[in-house]
Amino acid sequence: MNRRELLAAFLGVPFALAACRTGESARFPEGEIVGASDRLGHLIRDGLRPEPAADAWERAGVVIVGGGVAGLAAAWRFLKAGFEDFVLLELEPAPGGTARAGEAHGVVPYPWGAHYLPAPLKENRALVRLLDEMGVLEGADAEGEPVVAEQFVCRDPEERIYYRGRWYEGLYLRAGESAEDARQLQVFNAEVDRWAGWRDAKGRRAFAIPVANSSDDAETTALDRVSMTEWMDARGFTSTRLRWLVDYACRDDYGLRSEQASAWAGLFYFASRMRRPGAESQPLITWPEGNGHLVKYLYDRSRERVRLGLAVADIRPREFQKGSGATDDESRGVRANVGSAGIGGGFGGLDGHGGVEVVAVTYDERSAVGIRADQVVFAAPQFLTKYLLKPYREGALPAHVAEFEYGAWMVANLFLEERPRQAVGFPLAWDNVLYESPSLGYVVATHQRGLERGPTVFTYYYPLTDADPRAARTRLLSTDWKGWADVALSDLERAHPDIRAITTRLDVMRWGHAMIRPRTGFLWGGARQKARRPFGPVHFAHTDLSGVALFEEAFDHGLRAAEEVLTARGLKFESLR
């Protein structure tokens, strides 16, 4: 693929023609592809399952598989309950999953993925408690809603948008808006307001965070059966700029186009972050390094029990090793029901006969370790169950696993020696979006630190929205560093002509399975409801079980799974959820 084909593929044909006409001798900074260890992951996928030596076996009460937000949240929950007999295994050399941050080369730390958290509503008790513990909150307001300390709320100006040579404030393109555009926006906002105020017979919101607290009433779940675009069409929302805003929202939060995302997910984005109809969206909490700040806090709490650079290759519930016929889906269902009833697990976890064996490979593939435990918190995406969970691998794979689809993302961090020359219009904001780009633009790491001049780091996000997620992953991984650097620089060059001259370094992260895709029919189609039930001693915890990739969801599932385990172990505790 030559340069023109590459840019055409990722940025569009007209743009590629323009870019190649003007910048044939494009300049490149230094940089590399970092992280997301697809090599070791793919070895395990393809059958790397070493058996630990006899003296390489250890014993732990619980193994947490995965050191992303869900796994770290489970660890935090265990420690809150005074339960310390666990170990957390993480494939990557750093914790955090897609919420991780980087700090090499930058004047401030910077995100590699998730970079903000909307202030939780008071109903999200556990998250409020975490933020309070971290000193992010300053008490509560008159309605009992948590108040976020000013320094943690995203500073103004929050967003700006670039359109045809000029930057404008905000995400919705006001400039050149027609009366009809304005009317449709008003009607759309009224619709969002209606959903923000909607309550079912049990008093539940239509769109709550965490999703587990949302209503499952037929009126709301019906929204999952149409795409966001169909929903817009049905209501006569034809305004180009309104449709762009909605499409941007879907790409931003889900890595999907509005025609791929379900209307439930689309409306969730807008309505779940509002306290009440007509209220502003909840303020965003952020740090220079994004949610890496939350990750670091959680990791610091459980650091002694976290083993990084250890890839789990095999999870073997002991019950299945004894009986050869007990691997069909039906028997799993029965046992799982027993497990979730809280009797201590259908596999008799504590009596020494059940339990589970976890085998992990060191990052260098040189050695394997085994851990015998009573329970596992599987805080990794569902698609990994078919490789890591022995019974699934050997024929008992439930149908719902295939329903989980993941989007591919490219994230680039650009290290700038100074700020781009000010273009016409609104000044640099936190989130800077290009209207006519398939990328999501960039966030500025120094914004929340209050450094308005000098070196900075731009984090550039590019979701691959191909209909077939495997095709997206192939495109993601077959494009090398130079290709991705060219896409990012060429894209930003239209708004910042000097970007190549001031970028001293550009690192690229290729996230093959960045986000669960809440495409039409997935959220309320039953798969995620089935997937969250324990499988014997294995308890599942991951944001994909909510169908949307959010810190709040990962955190909630980590807590839920941890509390399931505490129950299974017969420990007394008061639920934080």
Partner 1 sequence: MNRTPILFLNVLVIATCGLVYELLAGTLASYVLGDSVTQFSVIIGIYLSALGAGAWLSRFLDRELARRFVDVELGVAVLGGASAPLLFLSFAHLSFFHVVLYGVVFLIGVLVGLEIPLLMRILKDHLDFKELVARVLAFDYAGALIASLLFPIFLVPKLGLVRTSLLFGILNAAVGLWATWLMRPLIGGSVTRLRAQGCVVVALLLVAFVKADAITSLAEDGMFADDIVYSKTTAYQRIVITRNRAGFQLFLNGNLQFSSADEYRYHEALVHPVMMLSGEGGRVVRRVLVLGGGDGLALREILKYPSVESVTLVDLDPGMTQLSHRFPPLARLNRDSFDDPRVRVVNQDAMIWLETDAPPFDAAIVDFPDPNTFALGKLYTTRFYKMLKQRLAPGAAVSVQSTSPLFARNSYWCIVRTLEAAGFQVRPYYTAVPSFGVWGFALARREPFDIPARAPSVELKFLNDQSLAAMFTLSADLGPVPVEINRLDNQSLVRYYEAEWKRYE
Question: If you write DSSP's letter for every residue of 166-207 in order, what string do you get?
Answer: EEEESSS--TT--HHHHHHHHHHHHHHHHHHH-B-TTS-BSS
Provide the minimum distance between the beta carbon of 452 and partner 1 in the complex, in angstroms, as a whole number.
4
Contact 368, 313 (CB under 8 A): yes
**Tokens in use for 546?**
């909510």
Q: Is 82 exposed, middle or buried (0-12, 13-18, 19+ CB in 10 A)?
A: exposed
Distance (Å) of CA 299 to CA 66, 212, 240, 259, 304: 12, 25, 44, 38, 9
Provide the minimum distance between the beta carbon of 116 and partner 1 in the complex, in angstroms, as a whole number.
12
Nearest one of 380, 188, 150 to 269, comparing CA atoms:
188
**Tokens in use for 321?**
């090793």
Q: Which is nearer to partner 1, 320 or 442 (CB)?
A: 442
Provide the minimum distance between the beta carbon of 283 and partner 1 in the complex, in angstroms, as a whole number.
6
Provide the minimum distance between the beta carbon of 432 and partner 1 in the complex, in angstroms, as a whole number.
14
Q: Which is nearer to partner 1, 280 or 468 (CB)?
A: 280
Provide the minimum distance between the beta carbon of 455 and partner 1 in the complex, in angstroms, as a whole number.
12
Provide the minimum distance between the beta carbon of 301 and partner 1 in the complex, in angstroms, as a whole number.
24
**Tokens in use for 499?**
């970007």
Q: Which is nearer to partner 1, 151 or 178 (CB)?
A: 151
Q: Which is nearer to partner 1, 187 or 451 (CB)?
A: 451
Q: Which is nearer to partner 1, 333 or 454 (CB)?
A: 454
Q: Which is nearer to partner 1, 257 or 419 (CB)?
A: 419
Provide the minimum distance between the beta carbon of 453 and partner 1 in the complex, in angstroms, as a whole number.
6
Nearest one of 412, 406, 408 to 483, comparing CA atoms:
412
Backbone angles phi, psi at 267, to 5 degrees: -75, -30
Contact 549, 528 (CB under 8 A): no
Distance (Å) of CA 417 to CA 103, 197, 450, 536: 16, 47, 17, 54
Q: Which is nearer to partner 1, 162 or 426 (CB)?
A: 426
Contact 115, 409 (CB under 8 A): no
Provide the minimum distance between the beta carbon of 176 and partner 1 in the complex, in angstroms, as a whole number.
22
Provide the minimum distance between the beta carbon of 552 and partner 1 in the complex, in angstroms, as a whole number.
20
Q: Which is nearer to partner 1, 145 or 466 (CB)?
A: 145
Q: What angle do CA 540, 562, 346 make, to 5 degrees?
A: 65
Could you tell me how many residues make up the chain? 577
Contact 207, 267 (CB under 8 A): yes
Q: Which is nearer to partner 1, 143 or 150 (CB)?
A: 150
SS3 call for 312: strand
Provide the minimum distance between the beta carbon of 287 and partner 1 in the complex, in angstroms, as a whole number.
13
Q: Which is nearer to partner 1, 350 or 451 (CB)?
A: 451
Cis peptide before 118 (omega within 30 of 0): no
Name the one residue in this structure whose structure tokens are 């780091």: 457
- Rounded Cα distance between 552 and 530, Å, is 20
Provide the minimum distance between the beta carbon of 150 and partner 1 in the complex, in angstroms, as a whole number.
4
Nearest one of 355, 357, 350 to 315, comparing CA atoms:
357
- Rounded Cα distance between 318 and 519, Å, is 36
Q: Can you give the binding site for partner 1, defined by CB under 8 A? A: 150-151, 153-158, 283, 427, 449-454
> Running DSSP on this structure, what letter comes out for residue 365?
S
SS3 call for 326: coil
Q: Which is nearer to partner 1, 154 or 509 (CB)?
A: 154
Nearest one of 381, 338, 379, 398 to 526, comparing CA atoms:
398
429: number of CA atoms within 13 Å, CB side?
Answer: 20
Contact 109, 292 (CB under 8 A): yes
Q: Which is nearer to partner 1, 156 or 328 (CB)?
A: 156
SS3 call for 65: strand
SS3 call for 494: coil
Provide the minimum distance between the beta carbon of 153 and partner 1 in the complex, in angstroms, as a whole number.
4
Q: Which is nearer to partner 1, 90 or 158 (CB)?
A: 158
